Amino acid sequence: MKSEKLIIELEQLVEQAGYTIRKERGTFRGDHCIMEGDMLVVMNKNKPLQQQVGLLARVLHDKELQDIYIKPAVRKHLEELWDRFDQFAESEIEELDIDLD
């Protein structure tokens, strides 16, 4: 699956999980939070696609997704990333070498 398509699929899943996504430019890494009762994901447009995928996958890692349909190809990518996140729990997720193609 192409990285641009994967980003779109993950963004849709994050929104289905109840988050609003904001894409901004700046010197921040990006993360998720609750602000004034709204669940929010702030993504840095300047970061490489691999880091954006890592952020979205990390947000989805902690959510209950049983009621959300995930395409098999997307689920495969997510499960691989989640396994790596668990393996490198002490590392910076954005710095992991994520192969998207």
In DSSP terms, which residues pair with 22 in a beta bridge?
Answer: 42
The reported pLDDT for the residue numbered 95 is 47
Contact 57, 94 (CB under 8 A): no
Domains and CATH numbers, the chain: 3-91 (3.30.2010)
Could you tell me how far CA 91 lies from the centroid of its own chain? Answer: 16
The reported pLDDT for the residue numbered 66 is 87
Cα separation of 20 and 11, whole Å? 9
Tens-place pLDDT, residues 57-88: 999 998 888 899 999 999 999 999 999 888 87
Q: Has this prediction a pTM greater than 0.85?
A: no
Average pLDDT, the chain: 86
